[in-house]
Chain A
Amino acid sequence: MAASRDAIFQIIARETSLDRDSLRPDATLEELDISSLDFVSALFTIEEECGVVIDPDRFGPTSTIGELVEHVSSQTQG
């Protein structure tokens, strides 16, 4: 199931209680103060709504939002 980049950003915004505008692609999870619980919550909902499986160990506090969105987007192609 292909998911638009915007849809992925919206899921992250919802699950982390952040404004969509604050999710700059170059911002790290640490900079945005996204807790590990909020992060796995976002992954859970991405998996549910985009029909993918994401390995949380690929990401850490210094990972950026852009890296997450790109990875999800690549998993949902085709």
Chain B
Amino acid sequence: MPEETQKLEKVLVKKVAASGQDLLNPNASVWASAPALRIDMAATPLANQPSPYIKATYDETKIGAIKEITVRALHNGKEIFFHFEWKSPSPNYEIGDVGTFPDGVAVLLPFKDPAQTQIKEMGSKDFPTNSWYWRPDFENKPKNQVAHGLSTSLYTETTPLVSRSEWQNGTWRVVMGRPLQVQEEAVNLSPGIATAVGFAAWEGANGERGGVKSFSKEWRDLVLEA
């Protein structure tokens, strides 16, 4: 995988002739053809925390240990896959103890007009969002979530999402994907469309979970090649 990443404005999802199985492999050579976007991540604003406890007792400067993630995306006409790479010096794979929190990464998509959907609030009643939530303890079945604003996200009963991941030499490499069109309550995608996308990441070793995380502060364009 090339170390250099291009500075792009948008997440361009190129169409490739590769199988879903191939794309699911974080080290597959096909990923070299995907433009990489480096995304600056920031702490979620403490002022927006729905928990008065978190708001009063946490320190925003200590939230958001993950400062940057690299995102790639590809589709094969039927399925779409996101490829993530980020540095995590001490990985947390599972909830081994009460004070252990697993690492995580998520994709956020608006159901409707991105301009009217607040990324900082995970949408609203009228402009909901769909998130794809990966954690190493979800056993390659990331959760599909729908949110109508902060503190409202709920898992759908079934998930169309699959993932593969590896942690090596201080870096997580995670691929998660699903069919472009799904049965679940989720944002359906198709070749040729443009929408918006946001990201979140959790450093478990820093006690990050829920709304205590780092996120991309603005929507990026998500463009699927026809």
Physical interaction between A and B: no
Residues of B within 8 A of A (CB): none
Residues of A within 8 A of B (CB): none
